[in-house]
Amino acid sequence: MTSRKKLQGLVAATITPMTPDGQINLPVIRQYVDYLVNKQTVKNVFVNGTTGEGLSLSIQERKQLAEEWVCQGKDKLDHVIIHVGALSLPESQELARHAAAIGAGGIAVIAPFFFKPTNKDELVSLLQKVTSEAPDVPFYYYHIPPLTGVKIRVEELLEGIKERIPTFQGVKFSDTDLLDLAQCIHKNEAQQLEFLYGVDEQLLGALAVGANGAVGSTYNYLGRQTNLMLEAFAKPDLALARKYQFLTGEFLNFVIKLVIFLRQWCPRRKTALILLSPALL
């Protein structure tokens, strides 16, 4: 791999814009990029993940979204990470090849969550088969056990993974087990891996144990405020950092109630359309 800028700070887990009839709305992405950069001071994105409902989209839709984000993000975004995980191994490999071909800044892979890997070797073997299709693209393991049910600790997974997957660059750590995260960071400091936390309301705790940054949905609309929290933590001004973290928590309490209400009458693939309305942004 060629020299690259380190992935750190905030990464917006992008929402997939939809038209009223449930089709992906590609023209929105150009203004979406400008909004993230200019209004939220966020210059990294994670595409086709949980927030973007990637696993609910067709392979063709996922490719179109990846292409548009890479195209519109050129010279504006620092990193465009494409999630290529799928329940079908050939489909995941196809998405990895596609991400490499369009010049994605990285790929991420979630653990299979129907027929689940039962141990570290099974999981690494699968990840190896996917990442080998993009041999020059940095790879991030997408760890989200609350959704996948795959509870293999990342600390265990990392032992020897770099030898088997040379492109391994880090982890999107979407779990509340800060002990696991801390041990990962402590034991792998020499490798300069990137540990990006994925539980927005607990980011401050992850920063305290050494996380490089964060991937999350709230950075689409709370990016500027969260960057102020990162600045306060770096000073350090922990009282101010806590204030920003508490504000994020209060906002999320409201959003959770809103989403529960919306899903009572709104088809899942149209939820993104509502959450992207100008009034909310």
Write out the binding residues for pyruvate. Answer: 51, 215
Please choose, from the candidates 180, 208, 214, 176, the residue with its C-alpha nearest in 3D space to the C-alpha of residue 194: 214
**Contact criterion met (CB below 8 Å) for 24 and 67:** no
Round to whole Å and give the CA distance between 52 and 55: 9
Catalytic residue (choose from 140, 142, 219, 221): 142
The answer to whether the beta carbons of residues 33 and 74 sit under 8 Å apart is: no
- Separation between Cα atoms, residue 54 and residue 84, nearest integer Å: 9
Helix, strand, coil percentages for the chain (3-state, nearest 5): 50, 15, 35
Answer yes or no: are the C-beta atoms of 154 and 143 closer than 8 Å: yes
Catalytic residue check, 129? no
Is 39 tagged catalytic?
Answer: no
Catalytic residue among 172, 197, 219, 244: 172
Give whole-number Cα distances, 85 to 52, 54, 95, in Å.
13, 9, 8
> Cβ distance 47 to 55 under 8 Å?
no
- Name beta bridge partners: 172: 142, 196
**According to DSSP H, which parts of the chain are helical?**
28-39, 59-73, 89-102, 120-131, 145-148, 154-157, 161-164, 178-187, 203-208, 223-234, 238-262, 268-275
**Which residues are catalytic, by number?**
142, 172
